[in-house]
Amino acid sequence: MQKPLNITVVGAGLMGHGIAYVLAQAGHSVRVYDRAQEALASLPERLAKIADLFGAPHALIDTVSAHSELSEAAESSDFVVEAAAENLEIKQFIVASLEAVVSQQTIIASNTSALPITRIAEKAFNPERIVGSHFWNPPHLVKLVEVVQAEKTAPEAVEKTISLLSGVGHHAVHVKKDIPGFIGNRLQHALKREAIDLVSKGVCDAETVDDVVKHGFGKRLGVLGPLEQSDLVGLGLTKAIHKTLMPDLDRTNTVHPFLEEKVVLGHLGMACGEGFRTWTLEEAEAVRSRLNTFLVEQAKAAKTNDQ
């Protein structure tokens, strides 16, 4: 059990409320700041819904308080997670506002999806205490966090962040260079680039791509990473496959024209009934429900295994 810390979460949205729950369930005292009153007002109800998923007592979330003043939320804070809008100016403004309130030792971690941490920290007085903490959605069910070391981040800030986030039950990994997409999104979008290209070339339809992943190598990805798998089958085989395959894989180095065309046509995905595939309201709801049920079951099983 870690020493309970005072932690501030900036942004009470989709990610912020889940991150607040993750930190509170580990015994930390969490103050959440948002500039939108509605986000603060609905925070207890959204936290209660997460607690209900795990059958956890609601008393747990009494340690999370909602604040409309950043100075109040961040005063004497040991650690801050910024999960506000994905906008560089907003994030730089939040860093500047935080630096006026917190001590020089307080670590400021940004949950940005794609903005370079180095840019978020570029106007800071103490950039050495600014790190990336890229949680995945939903953070209370997907227990990975990528801790990103920016150009000026001190190694101690990375170590402390990894230690804190490991202590709350997350698998915290160290991203040693501040590159776009960190690790997870680079891998995910390398796969999407080829998936989109296969469909655009008429090799198969979108449903078939999804089937190949879900019924094929996706089955083992949860227990066997791609490089572990290469080591398992042997690097000689991996090399032989790469010799044939690498010259043939898609190399589009911009938004794929097939994706561009979909967006221009307004085929934006489940929310409007058409994306790479067509979706009825019921089908879209069934996908959401299937994903949620799967993630909750996985999280519950992991908790049972830990006990």
Query: Taking contact as CB under 6 A, which single stretch among the options 106-114, 124-132, 148-156, 221-229 is the one that binds ligand NAD?
Result: 106-114
Please tell me whether residue 39 binds ligand NAD under the rule CB under 6 A. yes
Q: Residues 8, 21, 30, 34: which binds ligand NAD (CB under 6 A)?
A: 34
- Cβ proximity to ligand NAD: between 12 and 148 the closer is 12
- Shortest CA distance to 128 belongs to which of 105, 101, 98? 105
Please tell me whether residue 45 binds ligand NAD under the rule CB under 6 A. no
Would you call 137 a catalytic residue per the annotation?
A: no
Using CB under 6 A, which residues numbered 133 to 192 contact ligand NAD? Answer: 135, 137
Exactly one of 185, 230, 267, 274 is catalytic; name it: 185
Q: Give dist(CA 282, CA 174) in Å, integer.
A: 40
Please tell me whether residue 36 binds ligand NAD under the rule CB under 6 A. yes
Q: Left, alpha or beta for 27 (phi > 0: left; psi -120 to 50: alpha)?
A: left
By CB under 6 A, the count of residues binding ligand NAD is 23
- Cβ proximity to ligand NAD: between 153 and 198 the closer is 153
CB of 16 to ligand NAD, least distance (A): 5
Would you call 82 a catalytic residue per the annotation?
A: no
Q: Give dist(CA 151, CA 52) in Å, integer.
A: 41
Copy the structure tokens of residue 239.
């090399």
| Binding-residue pattern over the window 80 to 99 for ligand NAD, x denoting contact by CB under 6 A | ---xxxx---x---x-----
Would you call 185 a catalytic residue per the annotation?
A: yes
CB atoms within 10 A of CB 36: 13
Please tell me whether residue 10 binds ligand NAD under the rule CB under 6 A. yes
- Cβ proximity to ligand NAD: between 34 and 197 the closer is 34
Please tell me whether residue 298 binds ligand NAD under the rule CB under 6 A. no
Would you call 113 a catalytic residue per the annotation?
A: yes
Query: Taking contact as CB under 6 A, which single stretch among the options 14-22, 118-126, 265-273, 278-286 is the one that binds ligand NAD?
Result: 14-22
Q: Residues 112, 126, 133, 161: which binds ligand NAD (CB under 6 A)?
A: 112
Contacts to ligand NAD by CB under 6 A:
10-16, 33-36, 39, 83-86, 90, 94, 111-113, 135, 137
Catalytic residues: 113, 134, 146, 185
